[in-house]
Amino acid sequence: MFRVLLLALLVLAAVVSIRTVAYRHVIDDAPPGLPVEIDEARIVEHLQQAIAIPTVSPQPPEIADPLAFDAFLAWLETTYPRVFAELEPTRHGGHSLLLTWAGRGAGTGATPAPVLLTAHYDVVPVIAGSESLWRYPPFAGRVADGYVWGRGALDNKNAVVGLMEAVDWLLQRGERPQRSVYLSFGHDEELGGTAGAAAVVEHLRQSGVRLAWSLDEGSFVFQNMFPGVTVPVATINTAEKGSVTLRIIATAAGGHSSMPPQETAVGRLAEALVRLQEHPLAGGLEGLAAESFDAIGPHMPLLQRALFANRWLFGPLVESQLAQLPFANAMLRTTTAPTMLQGSPKVNVLPIEAVATVNFRIHPRDSVEDVVRHVESVVSGEHVRVEALPGRPASAVADAGSEGFRLIEQSVRAEFGEVVVAPGLLVAATDSRHYGEIADNAFRFNPMVVTEAEIAGFHGTNERISTAGMVQGVRAYVRLLRGL
């Protein structure tokens, strides 16, 4: 028995070792590309100017300043006169801009379908009272310490400026794509894109346009984001999560706080929320998440590489460890996030109702209905009910083997050299929820290097992008457009 057990352990160790050695992801050599010599100082200056125009999308949207949006569009036209002269500009939904770049082969019948490159220029507000926490004023567009600082530096004026600079650079050299290219710059992405991107999509649909693929904001070229992975990782998001918000309502007898009953509405609500967080929707390292980690895993340290290479044996351990990391957990499952609470209007009054607002970001394997059913099964009872607000499903998953993904990947490798390229899942939301309606494939990716510290600036304090990362992004856009 002992010998049999020892032999079995030796065989198991051998299998684990062999699979670990065979668990590889070869980084292809970067394709040769023509040099892209650009005016770095001009690019940085233009991003500074763009940040300085406070195109804020507040809540409620009615209090947005239309003059700032008019000023930004006027600045674009003044700054890039060559682009506006050679591309056809149209405005949609009020302040969203669509630029049409007719391809050399447009109308010949043999030209591939057009593509759409997009970004948005509205930004979220700076939290009132947090201005003093910013190292530099959020709308000053300061350059310091190797960064451009300010609201919109990462989300998403960097891409607006990057695309305009790339197109202008190509036009200056007489270059023009074979197929038609559309550029769309939304003005209300932070509010859902229901006025801007939706109007652009409707215009293209009525014009009979069907896109081969679209590219919107999304992931980046990440540096030092994955523990032990020393090479940059470019995750080209091929899908984005959906979203639904539920109201969990607990009821009880009201009264004076001096004589509380054994069970109160607040207590019942608290118990429901604890149950909900202890019973998340099922997840797993499969599908898109598995594709992502199978590209990244071979570049991890030996122990982690052995675990990922032998998920048939260590799968539950791998998933439990990933679930401890917020960004990884979000890739594995539909997430649960209680965000708002409401109870009594007065300190000494027991509420009749206590309400929690809970936001769910829906994984492509789940639906809005799946989320509602799960939550009702976990928390509903005699004194607790669930109300669902309107939600939206996760997007379709784009084809990582398609021409669009390949062209984006080639431009990344040509610019950044040794880099891991993997499909990914965007856990937030973009205007691609609209653009994807008329595209065979919708991708979400920004060709710019960011670190974990810089990512914290998204919708937060001290938003910034490195000047080097911004310049590389412009060159990557040039290479992508040349691929067309």
Q: Kindly list the catalytic residues.
A: 122, 189
Q: Residues 87, 183: contact at Cβ < 8 Å?
A: yes
Hey, which residues does 148 pair with through a beta bridge? 143, 465
User: Which residues, in sequence order, are CB contacts of 192 under 8 Å at separation 6+?
Assistant: 429
Task: Please report the sign of the dihedral spanned by the C-alpha atoms of residue 39, residue 43, residue 48, residue 53.
Answer: positive
User: Which residues, in sequence order, are CB contacts of 343 under 8 Å at separation 6+?
Assistant: 265, 266, 351, 354, 355
CA distances to 58, 131, 173, 334 from 54, in Å = 11, 14, 33, 34
User: Which residues, in sequence order, are CB contacts of 61 under 8 Å at separation 6+?
Assistant: 188, 191
CA distances to 273, 310, 356, 358 from 339, in Å = 11, 38, 8, 6
Distance (Å, whole) CA 442 – CA 435: 7
CA-wise closest residue to 295 among 70, 16, 25: 25
- The dihedral over CA atoms of 160, 166, 170, 173, expressed in degrees to the nearest 10, equals 120
Residue type, position 30, single letter: A
CA-wise closest residue to 116 among 188, 213, 204, 260: 213
Q: Residues 479, 418: contact at Cβ < 8 Å?
A: no
